[in-house]
Amino acid sequence: MKNAIIFGAIIGVLSGLWMFIMHWLGYSPQRSTMSKIEFVSVLIPLIGLYFGIRNYRASECGGHMGFLEALIQSFKILLVGGVITTAAAILYIDEIEGGTNLMDFSGRIFGALLVGILFAIGVSVLLHTKPNKVD
């Protein structure tokens, strides 16, 4: 669980910082369209998951890890990162955006959830080393 907390915290903090950096650059989540630079935020969970699962495989699994084990660890990392990111998003909406329309922002959070699930499956497939066993 230590690995999930560390890499989840990295993903959460970087995602939270990215929201504030985007605001500083002049972009707002209240717009109905996304700018191209906002898609860079997709790299944060992808890179964090990749290095988190790779570290988990090397340090705690002795270099051998099944798909299900990688998927469960991915979800743990995403859960920790999601909690921190959601806390940062609530802070951002309340303090920076003035508590305006939460519905605009919730669509992006749901999109981030779907992207996270797809990344978890992809990274688990990429890094598992026991192809004949599910776990």
Indicate the pLDDT class of residue 101, thresholds 50, 70 and 90.
Answer: low
The count of structural domains within the chain is 1
Q: Mean pLDDT score of the chain, rounded to an integer?
A: 83
The predicted structure's pLDDT at residue 14? 93
Neighbours of 28 (CB within 10 A): 13
Q: Is 120 inside any structural domain? A: yes
Instruction: State the pLDDT at residue 32.
Output: 59
Domain assignment present for residue 63? The answer is yes
The CA distance from 60 to 15, in Å, is 26
Expressed as residue numbers, the domain containing 6 is 2-19+38-127
Position 71 scores a pLDDT of 92
13: in domain:
yes
Q: Answer yes or no: is 113 within a domain.
A: yes
Q: Does residue 30 belong to any structural domain of this protein? A: no
In a domain? residue 134: no
Q: Is the pTM of this model over 0.85?
A: no
Residue type, 33: T
